[in-house]
Amino acid sequence: MQHIEEQNDIKKELGIDPQVKIVGVTKNRSFEEIGRILERGQKDLGENRVQELMAKAEHLPQWVSWHFIGHLQRNKEKYVVRMPQLALIHSVDSLRLARKISQEASRVQRVIPVLLQVNIAREDRKYGFAPAALLRELDELDKLENIDIRGLMTMAPLQQDPEEVRPFFAGLRGLAGEIKKKQWKRLKMEELSMGMSQDFKVAIEEGATIIRLGRILFSNKEGA
């Protein structure tokens, strides 16, 4: 681990508190485009497809920390779990998947940092635990020895006005607060991964510790 404060020009440009971690979402971006954000001090990158993640991790510098942010399909867990540069899986969206990741991780003697994805707006087509179901399954999740549950993640519904998604971000923070009230053996609620290009400011106001930025990192500064 590096202890010096990392230089990140993107945080300065966007006026983001140095404490908040930016994950640069590189899906569909060329190596040339990604190279430019690495030059601006961006070290954490995220992908939502396993194949793209593996291909990019292979060709980009080994010091990049990789985040998996998409739905992890059956039988692809093993590839992600074995990646040396894996920093965090944001998108554990079921107990079944959590068990599978823990099982794969135990085979390679790793403990994988993860977040639990919550479908906070209860949208039909979105992955994630429904809040009530999550609360019921926490005892089982807390038993899994080869995952390190660090917090929650959500994808808010797309809205023109970021103020409309504020209640969902506040809802995720509230849910984490509720979970924290109980003593857990392993499970922690230190991270909230929420907010994307169009709503990251509101997400940070509501307590995001990690934001996932795609478009805004790759658009012209003036055009954003």
**Smaller CB separation from ligand PLP, 189 or 194:** 194
| Residue nearer to ligand PLP on the CB measure, 93 or 104 | 93
CA geometry: angle 159, 88, 13, nearest 5 deg: 55
Those residues whose C-beta lies under 8 Å from the C-beta of residue 141, and which sit 6 or more positions away, are 95, 98, 116, 149, 187
Nearer to ligand PLP, 22 or 64 (CB): 22
Q: Where are the alpha helices (DSSP H) in the chain?
A: 9-14, 31-39, 50-59, 77-81, 95-107, 131-141, 166-180, 200-205, 215-218
- Nearer to ligand PLP among residue 23 and residue 101 (C-beta): 23
Q: Pick from 175, 164, 171: which is nearest to 206 by CA?
A: 171
Q: Taking the complex as a whole, how short is the minimal distance between the CB of residue 17 and ligand PLP, in angstroms?
A: 18
Residue nearest to ligand PLP (CB): 214
Could you tell me the smallest distance in angstroms from the CB atom of residue 4 to ligand PLP? 28
- The dihedrals phi and psi of 88, each to the nearest 5 degrees, come to -165, 135
Q: For the CB of residue 89, give the shortest distance to ligand PLP in the complex, in Å.
A: 12
Shortest reach from residue 164's CB to ligand PLP, in Å? 15
In the complex, what is the shortest distance from the CB of residue 196 to ligand PLP, in angstroms, rounded to a whole number?
4
- What distances in angstroms separate CA 182 from CA 87, 131, 148, 187, one per listed residue? 26, 16, 17, 10
Q: What does the binding site for ligand PLP look like in residue numbers (CB under 6 A)?
A: 25, 27, 48, 69, 155, 196-197, 212-216
Based on CB atoms, which residue is closest to ligand PLP, 42 or 48? 48
